[in-house]
Structure 1
């Protein structure tokens, strides 16, 4: 699979993934967690895993974004729920209207 931002690097560890998520959030990009069981098939659509807001501000009513640790925790939840799926983190830049970052954070746990 060579279709994401960091495809030329070895797999990232949890701290490296969290650092990339932190960078995406600091840039103001919208985080997404996606998963699929077969990324090489004709099915190009990945399912989205929900990222819940941490809390809603009582005075403004606006939902506050999740932190990098919470997003990493959601990726772990997605991997536990879908053990044979590839888990991808993507970040959307609303200013340029493009995907700014996308990489496979978890690969399937074969044989479990």
Structure 2
């Protein structure tokens, strides 16, 4: 079996990975959208390895059940990035109605160790 090759430009993760990196305002708008949908948000992180797809991501604290303040979510994303500067950090929106992820995207790609 041959190895699967990366998409041109490196690894792609989650929903928006084929688009240019989002700036702070675009991330804020995505968080606002997820909150408006009534989704429960969670922050996760993982080491940037070639096998990031086959490993579980570490949960950063508990999910932010019922959180309606955008700034609280952004602060948790930043706190996770500061605690794990070399990790990928993603935000997930869990949809209670469909009992699935409504959205998930990498917010920070981490820096080299």
Counterpart-to-counterpart distance in 1, 2:30 and 2:16:
11
Partner residue in 1 for 2:83: 81
CA contact (8 A) 1:30 1:91 kept: yes
Could you tell me which runs of 5 or more consecutive residues in structure 1 were left unpaired when the two chains were aligned.
Answer: 54-62
Partner residue in 1 for 2:4: none
Counterpart-to-counterpart distance in 1, 2:16 and 2:66:
28
Closer/same/farther in 2, CA of residues 77 and 96 from structure 1, 3 Å limit: same
CA shift digits 1:63-93 (9 cap, x unpaired):
8625111111111111111011000011011
Moved over 4 A (4+): none
Partner residue in 1 for 2:42: 32
CA contact (8 A) 1:5 1:102 kept: yes
CA shift digits 1:11-31 (9 cap, x unpaired):
111111111011001100110
Equivalent positions of 1:27-66 (< 5 A) are 27-38=37-48, 40-41=50-51, 43-50=54-61, 65-66=67-68
| TM-score, normalised with respect to structure 1 | 0.80
| TM-score, normalised with respect to structure 2 | 0.79
| Root-mean-square deviation (Å) | 2.1
